[in-house]
Amino acid sequence: MITGPLKSKIDKLWEEFWTGGVTNPLTVIEQITFLMYARLLDMNESTDEKRALRTGKAFKHRFNDQQQKLRWQNLIHVESADELFRTVRDELFPFFRISSGEGSLFAEFMKDAQLMVQKPSLLQKAVNMVNELPLDQGDTKGDLYEYLLSKLTTAGIAGQFRTPRHIIRMMVDIMDPQATDRICDPACGTGGFLGTTYEFLLEKYSSTEGRHVESFEDEKGDTKQETLYTGDLLAEHRTHVDEDMFHGFDFDATMLRIAAMNLVMHGIAKPAIHYQDTLSQSFKDRFPRTSKDSFDLILANPPFKGSLDHDDVDPVLLRTVKTKKTELLFVALIIKMLKVGGRAAVIVPDGVLFGSSKAHQQLRSTLIEDNQLEAIISLPSGVFKPYAGVSTAIMIFTKGGQTDNVWFYDVQADGYSLDDKRTELKGEGSSDLPDIIAKWKQLSEVRQSNTDSDLFQDRTKKAFLVHKQDIVDNKYDLSINRYKEVVYAEETFEPPRVILKRLMALEDEIQNELKELEAML
């Protein structure tokens, strides 16, 4: 739960970086991440020291005798800004690279960690502010980092923006992950899908007795309520959750650092976050276990509009869809990575749904003929504004099985204005997302019952079903406009002569009033 005072601290910390000359939002978050990591290292060391004193059992120290001055509890007491700057730049950051150790969570992307802060005074302020953040509170620190990441939605970054949190949450709610699932995002970015999935699981597997409502004031001073979850029913699955449930891949080291810290801050001890181009041939060689038939659930918003060299693409993907387009290759990759029976919810540009090239049709044919394509949820074109105006859709499918029909939903409102400002809207009809979740549950019940139903047969509604044969007859076109029926209401107008007489009468009335006004002058 992020309260007004805590948000103010984050905002102030953010402003200090900007006024200090660090203006790239990703760099700001990355540098704050390094400082948080330094503090968490010391917190974990202190916890192990206390446990060792209590139990008499030895543990592997993170800091040797010569490195004690690098512990957070000692850094915050360095009075000279210049001395602190030299220590952090010349000793702490090299220590990060050494202490990560081969095979550890941060090993792959700490090797090129750099201090981008150039002003000693800014670094000292940042250290003091990070020291005031409640990183020792498990429930709060995940929300804290999520709020920090939300700055990416309000900052202009060339090519870098997050999937809106409410869209992610809707997708997670629909997919309903289980505590035994292995979950992956092959283009994880900041880890939004994985972090939100963990939040969902905490809610789902919290005992009723462990749920309580707590009141707090937001930054405007308004009283609000939030449900807090305790009574962890994930305890029996904790090792799996901490070490093997969450897998993320990306080829941007900055994003990986942020994603790893995001998940750690949410409470996942050892998320499997890896530096890797998942479309490349080297992916299957470096991570054979995760390259095929491995995951129960994949949630992703892969890059749009990219293209790759054929020679660098995994040949297995090219056998599924022969193309250079990343949006098509990622869908093929996801099919490959899923177990048989595994499910995926993937955001794709509309071109994937109706593109007429051989590769587009080949991919859609594979989804329908060799797998179970469950749903196409069409999103408004303003969902990713102000950074992109491209129209997108959420594609939901299960690996294997067969497609009998496809459920379409035409989302017209997501709770925010569809212009560049993306202002939150209130009131009835401001968001279709709750309706999507409710109708999806209805659809699931109908499909599980295996009985005929008149539900979703009306194609004039927002949600409707389309039989597989209709899609095949349309060259596997999955555009919602291909199948949605629009009812046109007949408009009647007065005859032109009547309209003309009314206009002339109005003109006469205006002229008379002008003459009256002239007489008054």
Q: Is residue 74 part of a domain?
A: yes
Residue 414 has pLDDT above 90, yes or no: yes
Q: Is residue 44 part of a domain?
A: yes
- What pTM value is reported for the model? 0.79
pLDDT of residue 396: 98
Q: Is residue 139 part of a domain?
A: yes
Count CB atoms within 10 A of the CB of residue 367.
23
pLDDT of residue 240: 93
Q: Is residue 11 part of a domain?
A: yes
Asked if 422 and 416 count as a contact pair (C-beta separation under 8 A), the reply is yes
Closest CA to 248 of 259, 240, 261, 258: 259
pLDDT of residue 5: 82
The pLDDT of 426-439, averaged and rounded, is: 93
Residue type, 272: A
Residue 408 makes CB contacts below 8 A (sequence gap 6+) with: 375, 376, 377, 378, 463, 464, 465, 466, 480, 483, 484
Tokens matching residue 47: 């916890």
Q: Supply the CATH number for residue 53's domain.
A: 1.20.1260.30
Count CB atoms within 10 A of the CB of residue 418.
17
Enclosing domain of residue 79: 4-150
Domain total of the chain: 1
Q: Is residue 60 part of a domain?
A: yes
Q: Is residue 12 part of a domain?
A: yes
Q: Is residue 354 part of a domain?
A: no
Asked if 292 and 284 count as a contact pair (C-beta separation under 8 A), the reply is yes
Q: Is residue 249 part of a domain?
A: no
- SS3 (DSSP) at 43: helix
Which of 126-140, 144-158, 261-275, 403-417 has the weakest average pLDDT? 144-158
Q: State the average pLDDT for the chain.
A: 84
CA–CA distance, 433 with 171 (Å, rounded to integer): 10
Q: What sign for the dihedral angle of Cα 37, 40, 44, 49?
A: positive
pLDDT of residue 352: 94
Residue 161 has pLDDT above 60, yes or no: no
